[in-house]
A and B are shown apart, each in its own frame.
Chain A
Amino acid sequence: MTLLRIKDLSLQIAGKPILKDVSFDIGAGEIVAVTGESGSGKSMTALAVMRLEPDRSSVSGSILFDEVEILTQTEAQMCGVRGQAVGMVFQEPMTALNPVKTIGDQVAETILVHGAASKAEAMARARDLLNRVGLPEDRFPLSRYPHELSGGQRQRVVIAMAIALRPRLLIADEPTTALDVTTQAQILDLLKDLVREYGMGLLIITHDLAVVAELADRIVVMRYGEVVETGATAALLANMQHPYTRMLFAASGHQVTLPERQDAPPLLEVRNAVRDYRLPRTRLFQPPETFRAVNDVSFALHKGERLGLVGESGCGKSTLTRAILGLEEVQSGQILLDGEPVFAGHKPNLSVRRKMQVVFQDPFGSFNPRHRVDRLITEPFHLQDSPPTGSERSDRIAEMLVAVGLSPDDAGKYIHQFSGGQRQRIAIARALIIRPELILFDEAVSALDVSVRAQILDLLAELCETYNLTYLFISHDLSVVRTVTDRVLVMKSGEIVEQGDTEAVFGAPSHPYTRSLIEAAPVLPDLETFSRSI
């Protein structure tokens, strides 16, 4: 039976078309995944079903929920539908809860606002719901506030709120994008269980094709506000019709080939590094407690080697990155580059710093918006004693821009004139311009759409060929690390729990944590096996 039928749904915001003739169905108990890259309109489709689209938008077409036309419902009628018949889970659990109300109140509110129970009953049901989503009473009393919970726990609260009245349809908008892989696996399992248990329809919005393939009964692929392809998961994967769908899947599993690595002496040596942070004082007259972010970490990175560093959020990989860059000093242990310490006498050692550069995650925050590209990418020249000037300088700028696939004319532009992927190319140009011995890639492709990510990975492989790069690639994304590194370090709670050749570690992990990471990560299905099995 069809629960939700979207037909020719179009949406404009202030006259700008966002959705064009979107059509698909969801049956009761069915999981439908809407996927696509940023700007595809997948989230807006979900908001339109809730009639929570932004002000100044105009909607046309038809959304039939349970044979009732949603688009002609009054706002008052919609308030009766939201939370009661349709529940919704959002992407950002850290901000989705009201910080000044207890989790019990917030879950009970769904029940109370629909007049479904008395205050006391609602609180009792909130308790049951929190137990059901994996937040047991002894550790998570109703009186907890959101800031006392982790991201995954908060997402469970949001789910409890959404399913409190057993809605017939649950909409989940990128519910696990902000979470670590192990948490992601748990949340997806929870959602799947709830769908089966309650017989709900689930509309899940996600950009992650591996999640789509594992979870969905049917897939809807969107691009630029239009549905390009839709079908049952197995059939669609086996026989992709639209070139965009094929490109999307190919880019998601994109592999690159790195040049052979040669044996060379160690370039970066980290010996027993320890970094403590002071926690806020809990007692007035006692010394503040400390949190050990990096605990006795040792490893070496050889010249010409591509080393990966993986771990979940809070494992200490960012702290370690900052310590290597000489942005923060370690309390004990040593970090040496080419035999020289990165910190000399409590001051960053400039002669070491000029041998290192970094590429950050956020393509939008990595550049001063007021400077032109030539000034942006030449900033590392500040480290050199006699930086190039005049035509030599402009030649270097042109060379770098060409090397990363841009044009020398781009030097005069401002950063807002570039897309996310182009900005990441500029960031690489900035890192390369002083020919550093070592480059750190700190989640450098994590914020990019899959198609752009594939291009940047290709660029990286190319640059390895031409410039013989040595890099440390820090990421939470195992599939990316697997393809662009020779060796990998696995970090957990400030310690390196496993290290070894990338293929060996991923193929036969020895530490239980590595194993749980690899198991939790959703995997893209092997498309060829799919085609054969059908």
Chain B
Amino acid sequence: MKRNLILGLVLSSLVVLAAGLSFVWTPFDHAALNIPDKLQRPNAEHWFGTDHFGRDLFSMIMVGARTSIAVAFVAVGIGMAAGVPLGLAAAAHKGSWLDELIMRGNDLVFAFPSLVIAILITAVFGAGAINAIIAIGIFNIPVFARITRGGALSLWEREFILAARVAGKGAARISAEHILPNIANLLIVQGTIQFSLGILAEAGLSYVGLGAQPPTPSWGRMLADAQTMVSFAPHLALIPGSAIIVTVLGLNLMGDGLRDWLDPRLRVTR
């Protein structure tokens, strides 16, 4: 199954490269209006064609990748930074009021899909890419807390943790020294999955106007703009959609591949 990992890596790095390159070079200025060239199909000059303002779609896709990656990346960061310590603490004090509190809190956050959080934030503070980050990030917290707790709990039963306790080490130290390194694989894999979900969520939020606002380019908003023109300019919908699919597919393949590759049960030991 190494094929998955390689294909996933190739696809994801393609997108990351495009995003990085867009800082220094794009074929055209992504924001430059050029009405005479509007609605061109993909051709030699405009590889992905142009939109109804004559903007170069390829450049917009490259710059849009920045937004998607930034939002999803920061949201995963928020989820990990808050969720992992919470999960570790809950597992270390299994059955205590702290564990109960964290897990109940988790259940509660799960009742707020990120779209709902985004709606609330936007209604109160107005729209913007930051909202998307916060909304997706908050929803990521219980995901990481849960997976951390699950992984940590099975480790706390293991005898090497008992041995560390007999050596006088406290819960915090054991969590950092023994638990975290042994669930790192789990977190990396989940991180990839949440990253791809973040890309999808950002696209959805931008599509309904709750995410990145103009002039920040975003794949979701490109699709929203394309909607009325889909019957006569389908490439306006097909191309940003494919960009999202390629990115998410790449990340998911990478996650699956990483899981298989990192899973010690699937590797031959000794």
> Is A in direct contact with B (CB under 8 Å) within the complex?
yes
Most chain A CB inside 10 Å of its own CB: which residue of B159, B181, B270: B159
Q: Kindly list chain B residues whose C-beta atoms are within 8 Å of the C-beta of A353.
A: 166, 168
Q: Is A417 an interface residue (CB 8 A)?
A: yes
- B164 touching A358, Cβ below 8 Å: no
Provided the pairs A370-B181, A416-B269, A417-B270 are in contact, do residues A365 and B160 lie with their beta carbons within 8 angstroms? yes
- B158 touching A365, Cβ below 8 Å: yes
Q: Is B182 an interface residue (CB 8 A)?
A: yes
Q: Kindly list chain B residues whose C-beta atoms are within 8 Å of the C-beta of A12.
A: none
Q: Kindly list chain B residues whose C-beta atoms are within 8 Å of the C-beta of A365.
A: 158-160
Smallest CB–CB gap between B188 and chain A, Å? 14
Smallest CB–CB gap between B107 and chain A, Å? 19
Q: Kindly list chain A residues whose C-beta atoms are within 8 Å of the C-beta of B168.
A: 348, 350, 353-354, 380, 382-383
Smallest CB–CB gap between A337 and chain B, Å? 13
Q: Kindly list chain A residues whose C-beta atoms are within 8 Å of the C-beta of B165.
A: 325, 327
Provided the pairs A416-B270, A417-B270 are in contact, do residues A370 and B182 lie with their beta carbons within 8 angstroms? yes
Smallest CB–CB gap between B248 and chain A, Å? 32
Q: Kindly list chain B residues whose C-beta atoms are within 8 Å of the C-beta of A470.
A: none
- A327 touching B159, Cβ below 8 Å: no
Assembled-state Cα–Cα distance A357/B167 (Å): 8
- A366 touching B181, Cβ below 8 Å: no
Q: Is A193 an interface residue (CB 8 A)?
A: no
Provided the pairs A368-B182, A369-B182 are in contact, do residues A382 and B169 lie with their beta carbons within 8 angstroms? yes
Which residues of B in the span 158-179 have a Cβ within 8 Å of any Cβ on A?
A: 158-160, 162-169, 178
Q: Is A31 an interface residue (CB 8 A)?
A: no
Smallest CB–CB gap between A322 and chain B, Å? 8
Q: Type the 1/0 row for A344-369, where 1 means its CB is closer than 8 Å to any CB of B.
A: 00001010011011101110011111
Q: Is A302 an interface residue (CB 8 A)?
A: no
Q: Is B215 an interface residue (CB 8 A)?
A: no
- B160 touching A367, Cβ below 8 Å: yes
Provided the pairs A368-B178, A417-B270 are in contact, do residues A383 and B159 lie with their beta carbons within 8 angstroms? no
- B270 touching A356, Cβ below 8 Å: no
Q: Which of B159, B167, B182, B264 contacts A360 (CB 8 A)?
A: B159
Assembled-state Cα–Cα distance A376/B269 (Å): 19
Smallest CB–CB gap between A146 and chain B, Å? 22
Provided the pairs A327-B162, A361-B159, A366-B160 are in contact, do residues A383 and B167 lie with their beta carbons within 8 angstroms? yes
Assembled-state Cα–Cα distance A350/B162 (Å): 15
Assembled-state Cα–Cα distance A381/B166 (Å): 11
Q: Which of A354, A366, A381 contacts B163 (CB 8 A)?
A: A366
Residue of B whose beta carbon sits closest to that of A418: B270
Q: Type the 1/0 row for A314-355, where 1 means its CB is closer than 8 Å to any CB of B.
A: 000000000001010000000000000000000010100110
Most chain B CB inside 10 Å of its own CB: which residue of A368, A382, A383, A417: A368
Q: Kindly list chain A residues whose C-beta atoms are within 8 Å of the C-beta of B181.
A: 368, 370
Q: Kindly list chain A residues whose C-beta atoms are within 8 Å of the C-beta of B270.
A: 416-417
Q: Kindly list chain B residues whose C-beta atoms are within 8 Å of the C-beta of A357.
A: 166
Assembled-state Cα–Cα distance A492/B158 (Å): 26
Assembled-state Cα–Cα distance A325/B162 (Å): 10
Q: Is A379 an interface residue (CB 8 A)?
A: yes
Q: Kindly list chain A residues whose C-beta atoms are within 8 Å of the C-beta of B162.
A: 327, 358, 360
Q: Kindly list chain B residues whose C-beta atoms are within 8 Å of the C-beta of A362.
A: 159
Residue of B whose beta carbon sits closest to that of A278: B95
Assembled-state Cα–Cα distance A367/B182 (Å): 12
Count A-B pairs with CB separation below 8 Å.
Answer: 56
Q: Is A154 an interface residue (CB 8 A)?
A: no
Tell me if A's interface is mostly helix, strand, loop or mixed. mixed
Which residues of B in the span 51-90 have a Cβ within 8 Å of any Cβ on A?
A: none
Assembled-state Cα–Cα distance A416/B265 (Å): 12
Q: How many residues of A contact B (CB 8 A)?
A: 27
Smallest CB–CB gap between B151 and chain A, Å? 14
Assembled-state Cα–Cα distance A367/B155 (Å): 11
Most chain A CB inside 10 Å of its own CB: which residue of B165, B167, B269: B167
Smallest CB–CB gap between A447 and chain B, Å? 11
Residue of A whose beta carbon sits closest to that of B269: A416
Residue of A whose beta carbon sits closest to that of B158: A365
Q: Is A156 an interface residue (CB 8 A)?
A: no
Residue of A whose beta carbon sits closest to that of B184: A370
Q: Is A168 an interface residue (CB 8 A)?
A: no
Smallest CB–CB gap between A448 and chain B, Å? 15
Q: Type the 1/0 row for B174-212, where 1 means its CB is closer than 8 Å to any CB of A.
A: 000010011000000000000000000000000000000
Assembled-state Cα–Cα distance A361/B178 (Å): 19
Most chain A CB inside 10 Å of its own CB: which residue of B165, B166, B167: B166
Q: Is A42 an interface residue (CB 8 A)?
A: no
Assembled-state Cα–Cα distance A171/B71 (Å): 60
Which residues of A in the span 376-401 have a Cβ within 8 Å of any Cβ on B?
A: 379-383
- B166 touching A356, Cβ below 8 Å: yes
Provided the pairs A365-B158, A370-B182, A417-B270 are in contact, do residues A360 and B163 lie with their beta carbons within 8 angstroms? yes
Q: Which of A361, A366, A379 contacts B167 (CB 8 A)?
A: A379
Which residues of A in the span 426-453 have a Cβ within 8 Å of any Cβ on B?
A: 427, 430
Residue of A whose beta carbon sits closest to that of B177: A368
Most chain A CB inside 10 Å of its own CB: which residue of B160, B182, B264, B269: B160
Smallest CB–CB gap between A460 and chain B, Å? 18
Q: Kindly list chain A residues whose C-beta atoms are within 8 Å of the C-beta of B167.
A: 379-383
Q: Kindly list chain A residues whose C-beta atoms are within 8 Å of the C-beta of B182.
A: 368-370
Residue of A whose beta carbon sits closest to that of B264: A369
Q: Kindly list chain B residues whose C-beta atoms are within 8 Å of the C-beta of A416.
A: 269-270
Assembled-state Cα–Cα distance A147/B269 (Å): 35
Q: Kindly list chain A residues whose C-beta atoms are within 8 Å of the C-beta of B178.
A: 368
Smallest CB–CB gap between A281 and chain B, Å? 13
Smallest CB–CB gap between A203 and chain B, Å? 31
Q: Kindly list chain B residues whose C-beta atoms are within 8 Å of the C-beta of A369.
A: 182, 264
Residue of B whose beta carbon sits closest to that of A427: B163
Residue of B whose beta carbon sits closest to that of A361: B159
Residue of A whose beta carbon sits closest to that of B161: A368
- B159 touching A368, Cβ below 8 Å: no
Q: Kindly list chain A residues whose C-beta atoms are within 8 Å of the C-beta of B164.
A: 368, 379
Q: Kindly list chain A residues whose C-beta atoms are within 8 Å of the C-beta of B158.
A: 365-366
Residue of B whose beta carbon sits closest to that of A434: B167
Residue of B whose beta carbon sits closest to that of A359: B163
Q: Type the 1/0 row for B131-167, where 1 means its CB is closer than 8 Å to any CB of A.
A: 0000000000000000000000000001110111111
A-B pairs with lowest CB-CB distance, top 9: A360-B159, A366-B159, A383-B168, A416-B269, A379-B167, A380-B167, A365-B159, A365-B158, A382-B167
Q: A-side interface residues toward B, CB under 8 Å?
A: 325, 327, 348, 350, 353-354, 356-358, 360-362, 365-370, 379-383, 416-417, 427, 430
Known: A358-B162, A361-B159, A381-B167. 15 other contacts (CB 8 A): A325-B165, A353-B166, A354-B168, A360-B159, A360-B163, A365-B158, A366-B163, A368-B181, A370-B182, A379-B167, A379-B169, A380-B168, A382-B169, A416-B269, A417-B270
Can you sample 30 A-B contacts with CB below 8 Å? A325-B165, A325-B166, A350-B168, A354-B168, A356-B166, A357-B166, A358-B162, A358-B163, A358-B166, A360-B159, A360-B163, A362-B159, A365-B158, A365-B159, A365-B160, A366-B160, A366-B163, A367-B163, A368-B182, A369-B182, A369-B264, A379-B163, A379-B167, A380-B166, A380-B167, A381-B167, A382-B168, A383-B167, A383-B168, A427-B163
